[in-house]
Structure 1
Amino acid sequence: MRMKVMLSGVALIALASAAQAETLRLLTWGGYAPDEVIEKFEAETGHKVEVTKSNNEEMIAKLRATNGGGFDLAQPSQDRIAGPQGEFGIYKPLDMAQIDTSLFIPSMLEATKANTTLEGEVYGVPHIWGTSGLVVNTAEAGNVKDYLDLCDDSVAGKVSYRLKRPTLIGFAYSMGLDPFAAYGDEAAYKDILDQVEAKLVECKANVKTYWDGGDELKNLLRSGEVTASMAWDTGGWQLNADNPDITFVAPTSGALGWIDTFAIPSRGRADQAAYDWINFVMKPEIAAMITTSAGNFTASQGGDADVDAALKERYQASFPQEAIDNIKWYPSVPAGLEALEGAALDRINAAK
């Protein structure tokens, strides 16, 4: 005898959700997808999340190698989308109708959309933002106020920075040059790089080491081996919690501002899970959890309401209004410029 099984509305919804559940393969930065947020998301949506931690260069390399496959949601910086998309086609246009735009700080959303638009299609929306500048032991290297001060004799042998493009950009601004204004003129940009390269080769004697990871730099600053460095604001604020002499300093020529985005790879296969994740993590209460984990503020409207008061205080000490107004926000990188930068960095590294 065949039995009828009656299911409640809740059970039917659960079954429907399970049938639509996807595995979200997230390519992101450390701290952007903390375990407690993943657990809440999985419980609420039924989707599963697999996290691969990466950085801008690796994200582009991974997606280029697979023609945009292997991941369902990536978090490149907003200046790394239009150029790579134009060259390699590694992202797909966003369906803005599936994103709850009311969750975003309007000005940041519009700026990111403008910087990630190609041929009328939007490829990125903002998630986490912050700056890079100087992290200084003010008791030992209080005269370091700008990038060029890292070449001063007073900090000889106690300096560290990365051999990455922010170092090139920061030193250019400190030298009175405007690299972003030259983005549309490859010859002019090459001339700026040549000047910066010569300065960084000259400055090599001051460098204790070129750091790669944030933990490495923090240990160097904690031990006193390094007293002045280029680094992100969050690293300086984390160190300040342990040693009030060490903090983030916004350079006089301007901190470099970045926004990490959400972008969907061109061969992603879990678009619904990707859109669900975007809308979930931009909720103010979830955004505050991510700020606590990553140390940076998000583009969530009201997402700073529940953030730790001590972090707010450190932010305000590093960024008086004039420093905020002087932030140099990264524009989109035109195709071909990163190859010029890479060649300059290789020559700096090889120089004696």
Structure 2
Amino acid sequence: MAVTLRHQAVGGAGTPAQHMLRRRDVAVLLPLVATGLWPTAAQAAPVLRVLSWPGYADPDIVAVFEKRHGAKVEITTVASDDVLRAKLANPQGVGFDLVAANTAEIARLVVRRLLAPLPVHNIPNTERQLPRFRQLHAIAGIAQGSDVYAMPYTYSEMGLIYDRQQISTPPASIAVLWDPRWRGRVLAFDGSSHGFSLAAMYRGMAPFHIPAAQFGPLARDLVALRRNVRSFYSLPEESLELFRKHRIAVMHANYGQQQLKQLRDAGLDVGYVVPREGALAWLDCWAITRRSTQVALATEWINYMLDPSVSRELTRRQGLANTLEEPLALSGDAPAGAIVWLEPVEDEARRAQLWQRILSGDRPNRF
């Protein structure tokens, strides 16, 4: 680093005392320059790379964090667990510092040693969370031994959203998704794990541990579902447009109450139920990856996400529950079935392979 010291002439060349002062200044400044402490140029802002779901980190929320910490945050959103896995598994891809994932995905990432233990003592806003979310070792999938790898952030069940103008009585069973009366007016989520779990629940089977011999029959059920649906959606905004455009009667709501809020905000007369077979439910958490080079900043991000102003804004904007306060009951939409928290499945690769064949149009006799 080159240093130029400029002298301003005052009354000629200056007095001996002034020359002595300047030499003393140089003696002080040169070590600062050599150690990089002299602010000759602005330091580049650290970059925090976040893999997230839609609505978890809106631009204005991110901007406050960036200003507060003098950092740059890059948000990448995903629309399914399949996409999330692919992005984290790509060794040539972006090295994410943080990921938002449900507890079943967190458990997989922990087993594959892709996550770093959280410095929970550096996340003071955890003290604001509801008691059940502070008992971290009691939440399946997020802890191993004495280490905690993820911090709960938001959750929802995957209920059924239905058009009250077309279906006057709330549907009691997920069988409504296969009902031929609604052919072309059904929406379902494009996700292999949830798709097979849904079909298993439809048949009264355990959703996360499907016997090998049952994959064929369940794949045929999903082909029948494919023939009944108008479309498989990925993002909640996409489901809103499809619901409105095609006069949808019923939808399996992967984003649960987030989608319910969007449809109601759009003026649609919709109801929401948990069917008698139960509803899959997810608990999304923030986790820091082992590839992160910004662990301290990532920890600040998690603490910021748990700030009451941020968590409550998530609920206000997205309709999703936060971990700081109990969700408000939905008037007139009493859940009927049980909540089934997501767990790791028996063979995610097999589910994904079969799901792609189902979507591509394979006939039932091919399974």
TM-score (norm 2): 0.77
1:110-189 matches, within 5 Å, as 110=135, 113-118=139-144, 120-142=146-168, 144-164=171-191, 165-180=193-208, 182=209, 188-189=210-211
1:274-289 matches, within 5 Å, as 274-289=298-313
1:343 and 2:353 aligned: yes
More helix per residue: 1 or 2?
A: 1
Deviation at 1:328, TM superposition (A): 0.8
Unaligned runs of 5+ in 2: 1-20, 30-38
**Larger Rg belongs to:** 2
Which segment drifts farther, 276-285 or 171-180? 171-180
The corresponding residue for 1:318 is 333
1:304-315 matches, within 5 Å, as 312=328, 315=330
Distance 2:302 2:175 in 1: 39
Deviations along 1:220-268, one digit per CA (max 9) or x if unpaired, are 2213442112123221232123345223322221121101111111110
Pairing partner for 1:258 from 278, 282, 302: 282
From the superposition, tell whether residues 70 and 204 of structure 1 become closer, same or farther in structure 2 (CA, over 3 Å): closer
Distance 1:119 1:28 in 2: 27
CA contact (8 A) 1:30 1:294 kept: no
The corresponding residue for 1:57 is 82
Which segment drifts farther, 20-29 or 128-137? 20-29
Q: SS state of the match for residue 33, structure 1? A: coil
CA contact (8 A) 1:99 1:279 kept: yes
Percent identity of the aligned residues? 25
Distance 2:162 2:55 in 1: 23
Deviation at 1:92, TM superposition (A): 1.6
Q: SS state of the match for residue 91, structure 1? A: coil
From the superposition, tell whether residues 25 and 136 of structure 1 become closer, same or farther in structure 2 (CA, over 3 Å): same
Distance 2:354 2:216 in 1: 8
Which segment drifts farther, 21-30 or 251-260? 21-30
TM-score (norm 1): 0.80
Deviations along 1:262-295, one digit per CA (max 9) or x if unpaired, are 1111110111111111111202122112223333
CA contact (8 A) 1:190 1:340 kept: no
Q: SS state of the match for residue 26, structure 1? A: strand
The alignment yields a C-alpha RMSD, in angstroms, of 2.9
Deviations along 1:1-58, one digit per CA (max 9) or x if unpaired, are 35799xxxxxxxxx9xx98973221111111112222222223333332211124322
Deviations along 1:145-199, one digit per CA (max 9) or x if unpaired, are 322111112212221212412232123223211224x3xxxxx533444332222
CA contact (8 A) 2:54 2:235 kept: no
Q: SS state of the match for residue 61, structure 1? A: helix
